[in-house]
Structure 1
Amino acid sequence: MSHDTIRKYDGPAGGWGALKSVAKHLGEQKIAISGAKTLLKANQPDGFDCPGCAWPDRDHTSTFEFCENGAKAVAAEATKFRAGPDLFAQYTVTQLAEYSDYWLEQQGRLTTPMRFDAATDHYVPVSWDEAFALVAQHLNALPSPDNAIFYTSGRTSNEAAFLYQLFVREYGTNNFPDCSNMCHESSGTALKKQIGVGKGTVSLHDFECADGIFIFGQNPGTNHPRMLGELREAAKRGAKIVSFNPLRERGLERFADPQDKLEMATYGSTKISSDYFQLKIGGDLAAVKGMIKHVLERDIEVTGNGGATLLDRDFIAEHTTGFDAFMADVLAESWDVIIEESGLDEAQIRRAGELYLSCERVIACWGMGITQHKHSVATINMVVNLLLLRGNLGREGAGACPVRGHSNVQGDRTMMIYEKPPAAFLDRLRDVFGFEPPREDGFDTVGAIEAMLDGRGRVFFGMGGNFAIATPDSDATARGLRSCALTVHVTTKLNRSHLVHGQDALILPCLGRTEIDIQAAGPQGVTVEDSMSMVHLSSGINPPASHDLLSEPAIVARLAHATLGARSKIDWLGMVEDYDRIRDAIAATFDDFHDFNTRVRVPGGFRLSNTARDRKWANPAGKAVFFACPVPTDNPIHRARRMHGTQPVFTLATTRSHDQYNTTIYGLDDRYRGVFGERRVLFANADDIAALGMKAGDWVDLESICDDGVRRQAPRFLLVEYNIPRGCLAAYYPETNPLVPLSSFADESRTPTSKSVPVIVTPHAADVGAHMPRQRDIPAAVVR
């Protein structure tokens, strides 16, 4: 193994390493001075909201509310490099496909609408009018509106998302696969049925008051770095921070706040987790059920000796249902099963349970390490069961906190980018806009891929994102997209999905969050909703990357006008002249957005209502529900191991590097895990590597195990020793997305099981990847 590729990182998360990384990325994009000025306007009332993650701002009027990964997102959008018509003239689509995702990202901002020319295998410039006419022609020629698929990424603003769903429903379908289907759909599914609201219940103020923060399946150091500021403050005042994660992650261990002058000057840092439990991948349900079992056993012991109950009996009696059956199920669960399936011993689990009992106000946080398993919904139900035991919902300093990804992924769902819209919402659309919306459920992400593969999906329209490689089963997804009559992508930069195209294909370049958006009424701002239901304005400050860019709302409005024509009662072009008109339409549709234009202009915006936070339970039971969930002992991992007998079958979790955000690759380093200049790495326990007869630095191939008869392989990964439980592996996505079967998804939510893929590991065979030449990473300057 090259010493330059893998080297130990001993520093904390954040600190000088983060500042050096920010400077490096600003420099790489040739925006060192202007980029710094842009960052200083992020998250201010007259500036733009960070286009990165959905973690809220402590003070929306501050001048330094950004983090390392937010700075990378800003640098990527504000880059001086341009991917204009000359790039597409120089390279055929086949040639572009040979380059890596990192190289594609480095080509810079798209400048011009482009149409695929099959005769030359090039993208060629097209006018906006011609592009809209082409999409309208395809849409209006379909036998049914349900033959069209409309995807949405989590960076789409509330205004664009609202217009998008309005257009598509007037067109006649509810086919709205979105990134939520692939990340926190399990959270919404579990929470909605259990507490009546599909969102988290906490605010940043609750983090100030909590004396216990329990973190499950989340790596905030890479995925939500601003969250580390809240955890740091909680740790400094003595709150217990209890982390459950298979990998040791630096952000959950130590953090140096770049905004703390003393900490930076002394090279100091703050310990984050008071306790760190390294359970095995997928072991969270068993671990939390074991904690609950300990709490109930302790309560029986204490009350049996005449002591006061350890549970919040008044809350349970008034606000919950199902407790007795739930308690019986937990007490009957075998400790042997809990220990085997969690990967923790009984003492560790009881320690975790005792930590919970020692806290008066508890917040439970989780990320995609929880949501992307076969039993994700049941796991989240179990986490909420833990909170319900002691009334840790609907009061200060306590609650449920699913930590979502992209900046407006929650807002898009609030705007009803949803394939299963409630009847009451559809009734409101009918009453406000004068058309009868479709009532049949549409395709989610898995359903959309299946529909493209079997011919039901003929047109794919992507509002942002990188669908071809963000999705599971990459080969199947690519076949589906290539079978379409038309694929369209609204985007700021070139990515893999634009090269996996239908018979006709369009790339439509749009404004970014950081850029000035001028419409007929003047400069416009858009709104976003963060992970804690705060809605606020975002107004760009940079000149557009090209004079030929349109905003996302303008693209939707012009497409609707071209497609629906005189049969629509909506003044699409008038709506987009002034985004206040869009917000008025939102206010007329959603009661929670009353006086939208007035309320959102208050610095910091406003918070949406949350029934569960107010202890009003808007679910069929009318109360919070205790759900009894058995510890899974027959999931795809168990079955794969039985199928392969003595051959080692590992559980693979896909994960991000520190130099990426979702599928966007900013660089080739993963500083906190000690990986530099390489993405095809496989993190494994040292004893597992030895048991395979291999050594760190060897190259290996991966094959996933599924009973559908399809052989899925991913070749050539570098073995890296890492602090991870035996039997568990981790590797980056999208490189490992080809291993995730399309048919393997979470019960109820249909979220792909990207965090629990059964795989076998074999020495790298050159012929395995012979048909897949290694993608090239020629420096961008070579082609500019």
Structure 2
Amino acid sequence: MAKGIKIYNKPAGGWGALKAVAEAVREEMGLSTHTRALLQMNQPDGFDCPGCAWPDPEHTSSFEFCENGAKAVTWEATSKRVTSEFFETHTVSELWEWSDHQLENQGRLTQPVRFDAETDRFVPVSWEEAFSRAAEALNNLDDPTQAEFYTSGRASNEAAFLYQLFAREFGSNNFPDCSNMCHEPTSIGLPKSIGIGKGTVTLNDFEQADAVFCIGHNPGTNHPRMLRTLADVSKRGKPVVVINPLRERGLERFQDPQSPGEMLTDSATGIDRAYLQVKVGGDVAVFKGIMKSLFDADAKDMAAGGSGLLDRSFIAEHTVGFEALKSDIENTDWDTIIRRSGLPREQIEALTDTYASAENVIFCYGMGITQHRHGTEAIQQMANLLLLRGNMGRPGAGICPLRGHSNVQGDRTVGITEIPNEAFLSRLDKAFGIKSPRAHGHNAVNALAAMRDGRSKTFIGLGGNFAVAMSDPKIAYDAFRSLDLNIQIVTKLNRTCLLTAHETIILPCLGRTEHDIQETGPQSITVEDSMSMVHASRGGLKPASDELRSEPAIIAGLAMATLPETAVDWKTLIADYNQIRDKIEAVFPDFFDFNERIQQPGGFRLRVGASQREWDTPDGKAHFLVMSGTDEDDGRDDTALTLTTIRSHDQYNTTIYGLNDRYRGVHGRRDVLFANRDDLADLGLEEGDVVDVRSGDRVLAGLTLVDYSISRGSLATYFPEANCLVGLDDKDQESEVPAYKSIPVTITKAEVSL
């Protein structure tokens, strides 16, 4: 067995999770009183977890957080500090050689700094000078569309709303957003199917579901609080079906740290009833196989005098496009389905039996579906399958996209979009007396291309680590260094901060765990979870530095410096965030009575038309949509290996908390490549060999092979290290999300230089 690899046989959660939380607290907080923050997380009068967007239950427990949520909080509420002395000691050239983990592990930024090219160091700068320098660079642009305004999904509704207001008054609709790297296929694909780019279920629906399908996601690492929900489904005797290339412990067994019975008896709940290890990129083939099998079973039932397996009354009343879909499925042959999916026909037919015998079904999916060349179409095929049996808009049934960052959905809801519609812009202009630009702007891929080509000259990042998260890092790094201005609004140092432009400024902001005190007193912000619930969040910790400002205050400062003739009363908005929410309500009618409703414990749910079988499509119907073929591989040879990127258990997006991946048995390293042992045998390789991975002329060198339970023809390694294998043009054709999980590769033994 390779160095640092040890088989993990225990369930997800349990004592391992509690130990990891204790270690994170000890490492980051020490004996600090900040540990009380964990008890405030996801509580009605506390702050929202800065990690994933899984919703809070109606009745919260004494502690309502998971292992990775605790890591996110301890990482933010750390006692470590990055001061001016740190930057005096370390040049940017030196810091560039550090790992991403080392950079963020230095702790919280404490004051604004700017890059000084003469000394190759960041030096302190006042807030006023920082805003003035940023304004000068922005106002020196030939055109406002040369500015890019990036948003991380950790930004609050209030911050995101002000950010898009600033950019639009300035004259730009360029909003590259973290959604453009993850769930943009949801935002683009589902509206064409069901009229809205969001999930249709609530947490209560899981209590009424007769079956739950988990497709292309790993809850044990990416949204661990979901495990309790899945365990409850399993305990009710209802099947949880998994379709995923890798075996993931969180989808197999879970020991609930809040269950004394399970913890004291060292028992666990089995999650999966069936686990189908689809080939990477074979998801559409599976969905079409289920539909083909369903049509066959429906015809047999009808011929035998039954009523059939399809919900014909629902189809007739609520949908269009059924005949075209049926024709496409009938013309899709089983040989193609089996070859592309990597699954035998009998497994797909058994899956169909489970689906057809359950009255109410929920489909959950993650980035294992979206980050492909045909991610948008894959989501639409899932929607087709649900619509065939009326599993949309009734209790216990629907579609559940699993969002990443805690407010990535909310940011989009309050206006972070490069393709705004006229109705929204008209309301925004009326509310503030401005004239927003109408031309569509840049998404993440287009923004990076514009920066590369010199068409964009400035970049403002509201959180995140854009250059590291994006595909084609070589292009990203070179593009940033050619800019006139790079502004990073962050809590910690990251690699994008080190990509020094002509002017580079780091503006440190408050974290979600911290007090936000403005002119009228303590403020709260709001977030929207992945099930459209909007709720308040208020930090309780003393800020890491007296010089920190909130994200809304930083945005207002930039706006007032850049737009001296602004029509917006920024000072009033910042003095009282209720004023921001009043304006959100004026622009977005679904936020009616915003300030009143946010006082309710647990908040309120935004309207989701499809949940009530109200289809907000042009013709008022849900649409069956046809995808030609099943070819996620875009014509590549069937025998080619396909690589998917994954996150480790000590990681959240680009943030690396540590070097372990406990559930997959990896310790102290990230330079591994998970592979199927039969594929290795065919290639004359074995576990422990060091290999180079190639995709065209792109190379990721020096990975150690790990024999793992992954589907034939599939490989996996960590994001963001493998982003170097993804070109800027390797993307979903409709949403333009980078195809991080659909990389054609070859592997060979590493070349050793003597």
> Is TM-score (shorter-chain normalized) higher than 0.5?
yes
**Counterpart residue number, 2:686:** 695
Question: Which stretch of the first structure deviates more once superposed, 265-274 or 51-60?
Answer: 51-60
CA distance in 2 between partners of 1:112 and 1:649 (Å): 50
CA distance in 1 between partners of 2:520 and 2:85 (Å): 34
Question: What amino acid is aligned across from residue 370 of structure 1 in structure 2?
Answer: I
Cα 1:699–1:157, aligned 2, differ >3 Å: closer, same or farther?
A: same
**Counterpart residue number, 2:360:** 361
Question: What amino acid is aligned across from residue 707 of structure 2 in structure 1?
Answer: E
**Counterpart residue number, 1:744:** 730
Q: Secondary structure of 2:563's match?
A: helix
**Counterpart residue number, 2:33:** 34
CA drift at 1:300: 0.5
**Counterpart residue number, 1:773:** none
Cα 1:32–1:676, aligned 2, differ >3 Å: closer, same or farther?
A: farther
**Counterpart residue number, 2:347:** 348
**Counterpart residue number, 1:569:** 567
Q: Secondary structure of 2:571's match?
A: helix
**Counterpart residue number, 1:728:** 714
CA drift at 1:766: 4.4
CA drift at 1:34: 2.8
Query: After superposition, where does 1:182-197 map in structure 2 within 5 Å?
Result: 182-197=181-196
CA drift at 1:61: 4.5
Q: Secondary structure of 1:28's match?
A: helix
Ranges in structure 1 where 5+ consecutive residues have no aligned partner: 643-647, 706-710, 771-784
CA distance in 1 between partners of 2:734 and 2:557 (Å): 37
**Counterpart residue number, 2:677:** 686
2:589 to 569, 588, 591: 591
Question: What amino acid is aligned across from residue 699 of structure 1 in structure 2?
Answer: V
Q: Is the Cα–Cα contact under 8 Å of residues 201 and 397 in structure 2 kept in the other structure?
A: yes
CA distance in 1 between partners of 2:752 and 2:440 (Å): 46
Query: After superposition, where does 1:314-325 map in structure 2 within 5 Å?
Result: 314-325=313-324
**Counterpart residue number, 1:93:** 92
Question: What amino acid is aligned across from residue 413 of structure 1 in structure 2?
Answer: R
CA distance in 2 between partners of 1:243 and 1:300 (Å): 27
Q: Secondary structure of 1:736's match?
A: helix
CA drift at 1:187: 0.9
Matched, 1:553 2:552: yes
CA drift at 1:308: 1.5
**Counterpart residue number, 2:610:** 612
Question: What amino acid is aligned across from residue 760 of structure 1 in structure 2?
Answer: T
**Counterpart residue number, 2:308:** 309
CA drift at 1:627: 1.1
Q: Is the Cα–Cα contact under 8 Å of residues 374 and 632 in structure 2 kept in the other structure?
A: no
**Counterpart residue number, 1:442:** 441
1:630 to 628, 637, 662: 628
**Counterpart residue number, 2:138:** 139
Query: After superposition, where does 1:218-237 map in structure 2 within 5 Å?
Result: 218-237=217-236
Q: Per-residue displacement from partner, 1:548-567 (whole Å, max 9, x unpaired)?
A: 000000000111111101x2
Q: Secondary structure of 2:724's match?
A: helix
Query: After superposition, where does 1:470-619 map in structure 2 within 5 Å?
Result: 470-565=469-564, 567-619=565-617
Question: What amino acid is aligned across from residue 297 of structure 1 in structure 2?
Answer: D
Cα 1:426–1:507, aligned 2, differ >3 Å: closer, same or farther?
A: same
Runs of 4+ with deviation above 6 angstroms = none
Q: How large is the RMSD of aligned CA atoms in angstroms? A: 1.2
CA distance in 2 between partners of 1:765 and 1:156 (Å): 44
**Counterpart residue number, 1:264:** 263
CA drift at 1:62: 3.6
CA distance in 1 between partners of 2:626 and 2:297 (Å): 19
Q: What is the aligned-residue identity percentage?
A: 56
CA distance in 2 between partners of 1:158 and 1:33 (Å): 30
Query: After superposition, where does 1:114-129 map in structure 2 within 5 Å?
Result: 114-129=113-128
CA drift at 1:148: 0.4
Q: Secondary structure of 1:428's match?
A: helix
Q: Is the Cα–Cα contact under 8 Å of residues 61 and 604 in structure 1 kept in the other structure?
A: no
How many residues matched?
754
CA drift at 1:258: 0.3
CA distance in 1 between partners of 2:158 and 2:481 (Å): 31
CA distance in 2 between partners of 1:262 and 1:459 (Å): 56
Matched, 1:665 2:656: yes
CA drift at 1:45: 2.1
CA drift at 1:419: 0.3
CA drift at 1:712: 1.6
Question: What amino acid is aligned across from residue 617 of structure 1 in structure 2?
Answer: W
Q: Is the Cα–Cα contact under 8 Å of residues 408 and 530 in structure 1 kept in the other structure?
A: yes
CA drift at 1:692: 2.3
CA distance in 1 between partners of 2:319 and 2:662 (Å): 45
Q: Per-residue displacement from partner, 1:33-81 (whole Å, max 9, x unpaired)?
A: 6343110111122211111100001136543110000000000011000
CA drift at 1:630: 2.7
Q: Secondary structure of 2:191's match?
A: helix
Q: Secondary structure of 1:762's match?
A: strand
Q: Is the Cα–Cα contact under 8 Å of residues 43 and 63 in structure 1 kept in the other structure?
A: no
Q: Per-residue displacement from partner, 1:668-715 (whole Å, max 9, x unpaired)?
A: 00000000000111000112222222221121111112xxxxx22111
CA drift at 1:729: 0.4
Q: Secondary structure of 1:612's match?
A: helix
Q: Is the Cα–Cα contact under 8 Å of residues 652 and 728 in structure 1 kept in the other structure?
A: yes
Q: Per-residue displacement from partner, 1:243-275 (whole Å, max 9, x unpaired)?
A: 000000000000000000010001100000100
Q: Per-residue displacement from partner, 1:555-606 (whole Å, max 9, x unpaired)?
A: 00111111101x2111112210110111111111110111111110111111
CA distance in 1 between partners of 2:483 and 2:683 (Å): 43
Question: What amino acid is aligned across from residue 198 of structure 1 in structure 2?
Answer: G
**Counterpart residue number, 1:645:** none
Q: Is the Cα–Cα contact under 8 Å of residues 23 and 32 in structure 1 kept in the other structure?
A: no
CA distance in 2 between partners of 1:317 and 1:281 (Å): 35
**Counterpart residue number, 1:240:** 239
**Counterpart residue number, 2:695:** 704
CA distance in 2 between partners of 1:157 and 1:313 (Å): 43
Query: After superposition, where does 1:310-459 map in structure 2 within 5 Å?
Result: 310-459=309-458
Question: Which stretch of the first structure deviates more once superposed, 150-159 or 422-431?
Answer: 422-431
1:719 to 705, 712, 730: 705
CA drift at 1:531: 0.2
CA drift at 1:2: 4.8
Q: Secondary structure of 2:609's match?
A: coil
Question: What amino acid is aligned across from residue 724 of structure 2 in structure 1?
Answer: P
Q: Per-residue displacement from partner, 1:388-414 (whole Å, max 9, x unpaired)?
A: 011100000000100100000000000
CA drift at 1:328: 1.5
Ranges in structure 2 where 5+ consecutive residues have no aligned partner: none
Q: Is the Cα–Cα contact under 8 Å of residues 67 and 225 in structure 1 kept in the other structure?
A: yes
CA distance in 2 between partners of 1:294 and 1:459 (Å): 53
**Counterpart residue number, 1:113:** 112
CA drift at 1:32: 5.1
CA drift at 1:31: 3.4
Q: Is the Cα–Cα contact under 8 Å of residues 342 and 712 in structure 2 kept in the other structure?
A: no
Q: Per-residue displacement from partner, 1:440-477 (whole Å, max 9, x unpaired)?
A: 00000000010001101100100000001100011111
CA distance in 1 between partners of 2:475 and 2:296 (Å): 49
**Counterpart residue number, 1:775:** none
Question: What amino acid is aligned across from residue 713 of structure 2 in structure 1?
Answer: G
CA drift at 1:721: 0.6
CA distance in 1 between partners of 2:630 and 2:299 (Å): 26
Q: Is the Cα–Cα contact under 8 Å of residues 7 and 664 in structure 2 kept in the other structure?
A: yes
Q: Secondary structure of 1:215's match?
A: strand
Question: What amino acid is aligned across from residue 49 of structure 1 in structure 2?
Answer: D
CA drift at 1:621: 3.1
